[in-house]
Amino acid sequence: MPSGSGSPPEHIQAFLRQPRPAIIGSLLADGSPSTVVTWYLWLGGARLMLSTNKGGFRDRNLARDGRVALTVLDEDWYHHISLRGRVVQMRADPDWADLDALSQHYRGVPYPRDAGFTPSTVIVEVDRWLEFQSTSG
């Protein structure tokens, strides 16, 4: 189980650049953890991008407490990368450019426009990582 701090090694970054299922953990107002599946886009170095609905559940959690955990699964989920970090930027995405980039990455098409959705971009700086790969076959 290799682990480290700061920028993950290149083989892990190559893994993270792929459109893989991921689960994000954030903290509720009372300090209890909350997890949900999410899209992410690996920006390189030690940064990743997420998109939230402005004022929505995750957006409020991350604005209040920027600590984040993200687990990214391989096709065989016994191989996964877990990341911990902190939100370093939250910004409006009025042209949907960042959300469209995420949707293109995962689905190959822009995100469907929804009058009830206001995209907000979240940039996370990763400070710890852990790679897990089962040795049993």
- pLDDT single digits (tens) 51-66: 999 999 999 999 999 9
Give the architecture (CATH level 2) of 3-133. Answer: Roll (2.30)
Residue 52 and residue 120 in contact, taking contact as beta carbons nearer than 8 Å? yes
Burial per residue of 3-33, b for 16 or more beta-carbon CB atoms within 10 angstroms, e otherwise: eeeeebeeebbebbeeebebebbbbeeeeee
Residue 62 and residue 26 in contact, taking contact as beta carbons nearer than 8 Å? yes
Domain ranges across the chain: 3-133
Flag whether the pTM goes above 0.75: yes
- pLDDT single digits (tens) 78-116: 899 999 999 999 999 999 999 999 999 999 999 999 778
